[in-house]
Amino acid sequence: MVTEIKLYPKDMPARPDWLKVRLPAGPRYAELKDLMRGMKLHTVCEEARCPNIGECWGHGTATFMILGDVCTRACRYCAVTSGKPHTLDLGEPRRVAEAVLAMGLKHAVVTSVDRDDLPDFGADIFAATIRKIHEVNPGCAVEVLTPDFQGTAAAIRTVTDARPEIFNHNIETVERVFRRVRPGKSNYRLSLAVLAMAKEVHPHGLTKSGIMVGLGESTEEIVETMLDLRKVGVEILTIGQYLQPTAKHVVIDRYYHPDEFAELRERGLALGFSHVESGPLVRSSYHAHEQSDALKARKKPV
């Protein structure tokens, strides 16, 4: 049974100092903002109100969000607009590749909204974007952060056949909490199956997933989720603090201390993850290029 989710309570604790970030500013931030607008591109950095946007854009990195900026799902933690999406933009893969070139990226991250309205759930556009980035930017690694494609094997194969260096699909939270914050078509076991299929069809590619904490989960449940991810071959894990975007979203259960994130990182490494990025402001693509570089030595040829 799904329990009712509280919204902002009157006694909501103040955000701790370690979660306070500077407002995005600076010439590099302004330059990238103009670039994205000029090329009619979306970034999850903006749409999901990422707290690291100032830091990442200041270093010339961004996560491109393809397939529009309107999602067919309405997860209760996510700030991305939900509703009826726009028509497909077939020129988007080329513009993303050109933006990657203009930014001089060596590691590009591409994600998307859910597109349950499309027969292939957007897999063809993902594949076209991967191939176009590789074509225009030889040597640039591509990481994709995909939706679940409703677990459709053909869609997952379409994406993995384009050979992204990293296939990422976020589990987001523990199984007990999952249905409460991800209603509708999303499913914990289905997300695990997606990661398992991606590894099965492209065994030499890296797989990655992410967990948010502060949604009412226990430490034991986080470890259980880590074990589930390891069972399907996930090698890279990110763990970050959930931050409530608006009063309409799921309320924060509690703020984790940086020491707790450090402990979770050690637990993850002990369970066999090759790389664990764990911290209050960590998001799925945070330091993604560093994660990739750290694993190049052990990564087999694609």
The per-residue pLDDT for range 177-192, each reduced to its tens digit, is 999 999 889 999 999 9
Contact 165, 130 (CB under 8 A): no
H-helix or E-strand spanning residue 127 = helix 123-136
What is the per-residue pLDDT across 180-238, written as a single tens digit (0 to 9) for each? 999 889 999 999 999 999 999 999 899 999 999 999 999 999 999 999 999 999 999 99
> Is 260 within the bounds of a domain?
yes
Which residues are bridge partners to 109 per DSSP?
63, 143
Residues 6+ apart with CB under 8 A from 182: 73, 75, 76, 172, 173
**pLDDT for the residue 69:** 86
pLDDT above 60: residue 10? no
Instruction: Report if residue 235 sits inside a domain.
Output: yes
**133/126 Cα distance (integer angstroms):** 11
| Rounded distance between C-alpha atoms, residue 258 and residue 278, angstroms | 9
Question: pTM here?
Answer: 0.84
Give the helix, strand, coil percentages of the chain, each rounded to 5.
40, 15, 45
DSSP calls for 113-124:
---TTSTTTTHH
pLDDT (mean) for 277-293: 73
Report which residue type is found at 98. E
**Assigned domain for 131 exists:** yes
Residue 112: which domain range?
24-295
> For 11-25, 140-154, 175-189, which range has the lowest pLDDT when averaged over its residues?
11-25
Residue 51 lies in a domain: yes
Give the whole-angstrom CA distance, residue 102 versus residue 131: 17
Question: How many domains does the chain contain in total?
Answer: 1
CATH of the domain at 170: 3.20.20.70
Residue 198: the pLDDT is: 97
